[in-house]
Amino acid sequence: MVHPAHRNGGLARRLGLFDATMLVMGGIIGSGIFMNPAVAARHVHTPFLILAVWTVGGLVALAGGFIWAELATVRPEVGGQYAYLREAFHPLVAFLYGWGLLLVIQTGGMAAVAVTFARYFRELTNLQMADGVLAALALAGLTIINCLGVRAGATVQSFLMVLKILAIIALVMCGLFLTGSPSANGIGAWEGGSSLDVGSSLKSALALGTMIGAAMVPVLFAYGGWQTATFVAGEIREPKKNLPRALVIGVSAVVVLYLAVNFVSVRALGVSGLATTTTPASDVMRIAMGPTGARLIAAGIAISTLGFLSQSMLTAPRVYFAMAEDGLFFSAVAKLSRRSRVPVIAIVMQGSLATIIALSGKYEQILNYVVSVDFIFFGLTAMCVFTFRRRFKTANTDGPLARVPGHPVTTVIFIAICWLVVINTVYQYPKNTLIGLGILLAGIPAYFLWQRKNRR
């Protein structure tokens, strides 16, 4: 049934620019954008600052997209970020990233999103089934689809991504044309219930910076996920051209959509109303169209969560596949199906682990460990740009086809922001961070065990 894929040679390049762009956008947009506009409003209390932090977050994400675009032209290999870390630093660093992806970053997130899908699906259909069981069925279905081939998985993912985009556009249009001002809606004033006047409300610029910094962390996390599209570089046609374009186009499009959602949320609900709700998208649609609007956006959220799961199921297994090819994971994970030419065992492994976590109900605990681990590797991956450019200069060869605008300044700023997020997370959630780092460091002995086994 399966055979080894010799250094990615067996993978089928069946994805084009549109597929890659949908993967970039799908990796970023989950269910969060339908709830996250309220997050910033709880920290900063004027429309200008709310939109400002989402704009800055978008610029940081775009900088990341350009960085990964340059790296994709240098190392257009399966595994993406894993391959960049391996070639720039050491296989151990790359292995720890894959280890963290499997045990913390990806599977825990997938389990949480699968349960979110189950809750909205049950609400829409009145289906009498436990959330964990329904989540497991969704994960099983997507696992089977992706085992059929990268084309099948990408088609489903792109279809769901288009539906997501339409749901967000519908939310924005309804917020713009079917809702009045916040005062007319009886929720609060556009200026917000606790207007932020730097001269009177804040005693110092430091306090303002602290508030903005607190708002930026969840915003940056909401913009994360573009890097997962690089995992399938080995299955993208002309990856040196299409993958960088997809990263820039996809991230730019998400920034526009996110800013539009936040604008209509503030416009319809006001700052105070936005800060006190946990379901801003539902509130906007309820104002616009009553209970029907709330049900429509619930359907949009269910589709969005399913689309995120589809993207995750398609992309992340390629990292485990690359690890196994390097002899740093179970050898069976490096095998491809003869018929579909995809890493079936890697896909089934991830789907099974996410299902176990969803059924166990431990996904929320795992999610608490994600932020610090994720941003550590964001910063390290951005540093790869310096390593690769130095090697090009030393070898006296042409540099990458795509280049980071404003490098090294923009790259250094991106790295600094990543480290600040890690520091902030350590400060605010030391226990969760230590557990996440502990899981990560547990990969060190595992790496040496696999390396020793590979040498025999």
- Judged against a pLDDT cut of 60, whether residue 320 lies above it is answered with yes
Please check the confidence at residue 75 and state whether its pLDDT lies above 60. yes
The residue that leads in pLDDT, 6 or 296, is 296
Q: What is the mean pLDDT of residues 106-126?
A: 89
**pLDDT at residue 456 above 50?**
yes
What 8-state DSSP symbol labels residue 101?
A: I
pLDDT digits (tens, 9 = 90+) for 352-372: 999 998 898 777 667 667 777
Rg (CA), the chain: 22
In the predicted structure, residue 374 carries a pLDDT above the cut 60:
yes
pLDDT category at 37 given cuts 50, 70, 90 is: confident
- Helices and strands counted in the chain (H then E): 19, 2
**204 band by pLDDT with thresholds 50, 70 and 90:** low
State pLDDT tens for residues 181-203: 654 454 444 444 444 444 455 46
Tell which wins on pLDDT, 162 or 194: 162
Per-residue confidence (pLDDT) for residue 203, from 0 to 100: 62
Per-residue pLDDT tens over the stretch 396-416: 666 566 688 999 999 999 999
Q: What is the mean pLDDT of residues 119-140?
A: 91
pLDDT at 127 over 70: yes
User: What confidence score (pLDDT) does residue 306 get?
Assistant: 94
Look at residue 221 in the predicted model and tell me its pLDDT: 83
pLDDT at 96 over 80: yes
Least-confidence region, from 106-115, 148-157, 215-224, 357-366: 357-366
Report yes or no: 255 and 62 within 8 Å, Cβ to Cβ: yes
Q: What's the whole-number average pLDDT of the chain?
A: 86
pLDDT of residue 195: 43
Please tell me the distance from the alpha carbon of residue 147 to that of residue 338, in angstroms, as a whole number. Answer: 11
Tell me what pLDDT residue 190 has.
Answer: 45
Hey, is 442 helix, strand or coil?
Answer: coil
Least reliable range by pLDDT among 214-218, 223-227, 366-370, 375-379: 366-370
Q: How many CB atoms lie within 10 A of CB 177?
A: 9
> Domain 2-455, what fold?
Amino acid/polyamine transporter I (1.20.1740)
For residue 246 the two structure tokens come to 């997809």
Segment 257-270, tens digit of pLDDT: 999 999 999 999 99
pLDDT recorded at residue 10: 73
pLDDT for 396: 64
Instruction: Compute how many other C-beta atoms are within 10 angstroms of the C-beta atom of residue 89.
Output: 15
Q: Where are the chain's structural domains?
A: 2-455
Q: Is 174 exposed, middle or buried (0-12, 13-18, 19+ CB in 10 A)?
A: buried
Q: What is the mean pLDDT of residues 109-134?
A: 90
Peptide bond connecting 408 to the previous residue in cis, omega within 30 degrees of 0? yes
**Contacts for 87-94 with beta carbons within 8 Å, 24 or more apart?**
87/384, 87/388, 88/383, 88/384, 88/387, 88/388, 89/380, 89/384, 89/387, 91/326, 91/328, 91/447, 91/451, 92/444, 92/447, 93/380, 94/323, 94/326
- The tokens for 287 are 């104002």
pLDDT band of residue 427 (cuts 50, 70, 90) is confident
